[in-house]
Amino acid sequence: MQKILIELKILECRGNTVKRNSCASLTLLAFGVLTFSSCSRDKPQSLRALNLSYQGAATENQDKAEDSSTPQFLIDAGATIVEANFRTLAQGRYLVAENGGGGAVNANRSQASSWETFKIIDKNGGALQDGDFVYIQTTSGQFLQVTNGTSLSINASSRNPENWELFRIIKLNGGVIGNGATIGFKSFSNGKFISALNGGGAGVDVHGLDFGTWERFYIGARVTNTPVVLATSISDQWRLVWSDEFNGTSLDESKWVYEVQKPYWLNNELQNYTDRRPENVRVANGNLIIEARKDNFGGEYSSGRIKTQGKVSWTYGRVEARIQVPSGFGTWPAFWMMPDNQSRGWPACGEIDIMEHVGYDPNVIHATLHSAKYNWSIGNQRTATTHVEGAVSGFHVYAMEWYPDRIDMFVDGVKYFSAANDNGGPDSWPYNSNFHLILNLAVGGTWGGAMGVDPNIWPKQMLVDYVRVYQK
């Protein structure tokens, strides 16, 4: 393999691992991958967010950079791109990237042309809607960013879409975002809204404490198929190996089987898991719908649970689903995995909970690993929680990246949990064999019903836009 070695001094680095003027080298591999090495290290490190274009797909036989750690913010290959302009609510002035990008951002134009046109990149795909994480790209290809990540100023000079460039799009009254909607942008890095000074006619900053008048814009939008070049090392890309987009009219039984169980079968849950009953499991409008009902069908409550056991399973990879969870006391939705071989029994066989949610805590999402050494029955399970604003009112992408040496969990591309293989053998790390997927909506139980079950909220639905599995 041909290599070119470049010695250099680091002049500036956004992260904390390499200091200004540190000695380092870049290695350019023949097919366009760069690796990065500090002079004090032997192992090359991937250079994050390098602005490279790469045409064509990577093949399984291509060499890869030695460090395949994934950037914190991934953009799905199916990211939705919306071409848009933004007009202030207060004064009717358009947002503009001066010179088409590369510097200042203002809100002082009376009409929209190319400099006032942007691409909204919904990083996880699907319909653009309230609460989605997005990047905003100028016609020249730069991204709007919060200067230094924490200041109140904004510029359009970034070529690298990471956390400083990440915004949550907010829609007045919620829902899907289309032409003419009233929207705003809340910075991921400093937690404040983009605000047009004086409501328009002047500059723009990122100081809005709430979604007020100066923070509101009318959007003129249309979906476009124009591709966007994103900065991701080839070594960080995943290959889609399995998915269900739920675009049909019924559950695809070549991929899923129904788990049929009576009430109190597990965790003191109240539901009857039914078999091929469309009231509980169905596909409609591009979503899988799992519905829990208080209808006295084989028990006071009925619901659905499906799995890929016996159809398909995997060892290692990236597993993700775009889900909207229900609200209300007594709901307990989950997206998780169990091993094909459960001969050791639970918890020794292992369990991977990618997403769990209980309705009495509506904006909190949980991820957990169970094993013989670490599990809830002895109070030391490896777990984490994260606050997800709008978990019950919109879709979010829940993902796991599973490697031989660790498991990482993400919500909307943001990693919030990582557990390392402690090399203690299968009692602590039973995650080196095939696991299958499970989706279910439980009612009550030891956790879901810990604060009681509200008898007046049913039916409740768990909506799943897609499930995807990637491997390298």
Question: What positions carry a catalytic annotation?
Answer: 351, 356
Give Cα separations from 467 to 58, 96, 118 (angstroms).
Answer: 23, 37, 30
Tokens linked to 215: 């923070």
Between CA 400 and CA 407 the distance in angstroms is 7
Pairing of strands 154-158, 167-171: unpaired
3-state percent breakdown (helix, strand, coil) of the chain, nearest 5: 5, 40, 50
Tokens linked to 380: 């030391």
**Burial environment of residue 105 by CB neighbours within 10 A (0 to 12, 13 to 18, 19 or more):** buried
Pairing of strands 301-303, 271-273: parallel
Query: Quick one: which of 204, 191, 239, 5 has its CA closest to 87?
Result: 204
Query: Quick one: which of 262, 284, 283, 265 has its CA closest to 274?
Result: 262
Between CA 256 and CA 251 the distance in angstroms is 7
Between CA 408 and CA 391 the distance in angstroms is 20
**446 membership: H or E segment, kind and range:** helix 445-448
Tokens linked to 288: 């899988």
